Copies of this chain bind each other. A is one copy, B any other.
Amino acid sequence: MPRDHSQQGFIRRLGAGLLAGALSVGTALAQESPWLRPAAVPAPADNQPTATRIELGKKLFFDPRLSGSNWISCATCHNPALGWSDGLPTAIGDGMKVLERNTPTILNTAYNRFQFWDGRARTLEEQAIKPIIAEVEMNQDMDELIEELKAIPGYVALFEAAYPGEGITADTIAKAIASFERTIVSTESPFDRWQKGEENAVSDAVKRGFELFQGKARCVVCHQGFNFTDDGFHNVGLKGDKDPGRYKLVKVKVLKHAFKTPTLRDVELTWPYMHDGRYQTLEEVVEHYSRGGDTKVVDPNIRPLGLSKQEVADLVAFLKSLTGDRRPIEVPELP
């Protein structure tokens, strides 16, 4: 078990969260704020980012030839026009079959300790290949893909420039895509400007919302730190949920119907919400937590919060203050 999922763990982390919150509410502490981005985006030693790796990865990310149908690219579902997600309750895959889980955003996956809703991959390199070869997603035979790419002179040159002597392999495909994904990180938001000391960067509603976030609403128990996630898995009491979630991989009772805590950065753009996309709006999400979820769960933090209408609105205002400045994404030209 990589994290402490016990009840005591939650309470311990709540305490830490509330402390961190108390330090940062009202008086911003410039670079010391625990809510600001760490200086560097982490990357593995054997895949340090370079301009050519990122460029290659971007082309691969946007290239529909990475699917068996040659019609679906990573960007089809992780669409930059829709917050690097797809706006659908649950994803659509090969043959346009509707799948079971909501498409997670690519944003800040560079910082994830786990990838996918159930954490079945750790690194972006490990993650990148899985949707390509999954029959229900992009349904691409990897050996065929490698042959396809080898037949495109532009790609041969790009791979050689990015990974000299390594050739076109599942490994270099994954590394290049991961390198691009590590550039998809959140940009400065009104919330960040406030944390850096700009008092007028956000409204009073946002400030009240942030206080609720760290206090009465207990959001901070799971949504901690710059990326607003504890990198853990939680059952948040979704009614009728048939999906075992993390439990499928780790047979611990508390992980039944538990899913990875998503980032809240740019959360305004990544509707609908929850692992099955059941809520269209952030108001619905906050109300879900306010009523303590819809099923009995082990987690003591999922319990009625009794938020007023104003408090719900303040929390939503705060969540929307996490939307980063727009950073233009240019469509690559494919070789």
Interface residues of A (CB under 8 A from B): 62-65, 69-71, 76, 79-82, 86-88, 92, 94-96, 269, 326, 328-334
User: Cβ of B81 and Cβ of A332 under 8 Å apart?
Assistant: yes
The 3 closest A-B pairs by CB, nearest first: A80-B331, A329-B331, A71-B92
User: Cβ of A88 and Cβ of B71 under 8 Å apart?
Assistant: yes
Report the nearest B residue to A76, measured CB to CB.
B76
Report the nearest B residue to A65, measured CB to CB.
B87
* From B62, B82, B86, B88, contact of A81 by CB (8 A): B62
Known contacts: A330-B328, A330-B329. The answer to whether A86 contacts B62 by CB under 8 A is: no
What's the least CB distance linking A190 to chain B, in Å?
16
What's the least CB distance linking A184 to chain B, in Å?
12
What's the least CB distance linking A82 to chain B, in Å?
6
Number of copies: 2
Q: Which residues of B contact A331 (CB under 8 A)?
A: 80-81, 328-331
User: Cβ of B87 and Cβ of A64 under 8 Å apart?
Assistant: yes
- Determine the distance from Cα of A94 to Cα of B96 in the docked complex, in whole angstroms: 8
- Determine the distance from Cα of A82 to Cα of B82 in the docked complex, in whole angstroms: 20
Known contacts: A87-B64, A331-B330. The answer to whether A96 contacts B71 by CB under 8 A is: yes
Taking each of A62, A70, A71, A269, which has the highest tally of chain B beta carbons within 10 Å of its own beta carbon?
A71
Taking each of A86, A94, A269, A331, which has the highest tally of chain B beta carbons within 10 Å of its own beta carbon?
A331
Q: Which residues of B contact A64 (CB under 8 A)?
A: 79, 82, 86-87
Q: Which residues of B contact A333 (CB under 8 A)?
A: 81, 269, 326
Q: Which residues of B contact A96 (CB under 8 A)?
A: 69, 71, 94-96
Report the nearest B residue to A328, measured CB to CB.
B330
- Determine the distance from Cα of A80 to Cα of B73 in the docked complex, in whole angstroms: 13
Known contacts A81-B333, A82-B334; 7 further A-B pairs (Cβ under 8 A): A62-B81, A64-B87, A80-B331, A81-B332, A328-B330, A329-B330, A331-B331
Taking each of A69, A87, A95, A333, which has the highest tally of chain B beta carbons within 10 Å of its own beta carbon?
A333
Known contacts: A81-B62, A329-B330, A332-B81. The answer to whether A71 contacts B86 by CB under 8 A is: yes
Report the nearest B residue to A82, measured CB to CB.
B334
Q: Which residues of B contact A326 (CB under 8 A)?
A: 333
Q: Which residues of B contact A328 (CB under 8 A)?
A: 330-331
Q: Can you identify 13 A-B contacts, CB atoms within 8 angstroms?
A: A64-B79, A69-B92, A69-B96, A71-B76, A71-B88, A81-B331, A81-B333, A81-B334, A95-B95, A95-B96, A328-B330, A328-B331, A330-B331
Report the nearest B residue to A94, measured CB to CB.
B96
What's the least CB distance linking A135 to chain B, in Å?
14
